[in-house]
Structure 1
Amino acid sequence: VADPDSVEDKRRFFRTGPGEYGEGDRFLGVSVPDQRRVARRFKSLALNEIRTLLVTGAHEERLTALLILVLKFAKADEAVRSQIVDLYLANTASVNNWDLVDSSAFQLLGEWLADRDRAVLDRLAGSQSLWERRIAIIATFAFIRRGDHEWTLRIATTLVGDRHDLIHKAVGWMLREVGNRDREAEVRWLIRHQRTMPRTMLRYAIEKFPADERRAFLAGTGAGPGG
Structure 2
Amino acid sequence: MSLPHARLAEAADQLTEQLARLGTRQRAAWDRDYLHSDLVHLGVPIPYLRRAVNTTSRNLRSLTRSDVLALADLLWTSDVCEHRQAAVHLLTRHTDLLSPADLVTVEAMLRAARTWALVDTLAVHGAGAITLQHKETAGTVLDRWAIDQDFWLRRTALLALLPGIRADAADLKRLSRYADAMLEESEFFIRKAIGWVLRETSRRDYHFVTAWVESRIDRISGVTLREAVRHLHDTDRTRLINAYRRTHGH
TM-score normalised by structure 2 residue count: 0.77
Correspondence 1:67 to 2:95: no
How many Å apart are 1:30 and its aligned residue? 0.8
Match of 1:30 among 29, 33, 44: 44
Which amino acid counterpart does residue 51 of structure 1 have in structure 2?
Answer: D
Cα distance change of structure 1 residues 109 and 46 upon mapping to structure 2, 3 Å threshold: closer
Distance 1:6 1:108 in 2: 26
In structure 1, stretches of 5+ residues that fail to align are 17-23, 223-227
Which aligned pairs between 1:69-84 and structure 2 lie closer than 5 A?
Answer: 69-74=91-96, 76=97, 80-82=98-100, 84=102
Answer whether contact 1:3 1:29 (CA < 8 A) is retained: yes
Which aligned pairs between 1:129-144 and structure 2 lie closer than 5 A?
Answer: 129-144=150-165
Correspondence 1:41 to 2:55: yes
Answer whether contact 1:5 1:29 (CA < 8 A) is retained: yes
Distance 2:102 2:48 in 1: 23
Secondary structure of the residue that 1:39 maps to in structure 2?
helix
Answer whether contact 1:106 1:139 (CA < 8 A) is retained: yes
How many Å apart are 1:221 and its aligned residue? 6.4
How many Å apart are 1:82 and its aligned residue? 4.5
Match of 2:184 among 154, 161, 169: 161
Which amino acid counterpart does residue 33 of structure 1 have in structure 2?
Answer: P
Larger radius of gyration: 2
* 2:144 corresponds to: 123
* 1:15 corresponds to: 36
Answer whether contact 1:153 1:175 (CA < 8 A) is retained: no
Once the two structures are aligned, what percentage of the paired residues are identical? Answer: 24
* 2:127 corresponds to: 109
How many Å apart are 1:144 and its aligned residue? 0.9
In structure 2, stretches of 5+ residues that fail to align are 1-21, 58-62, 246-250
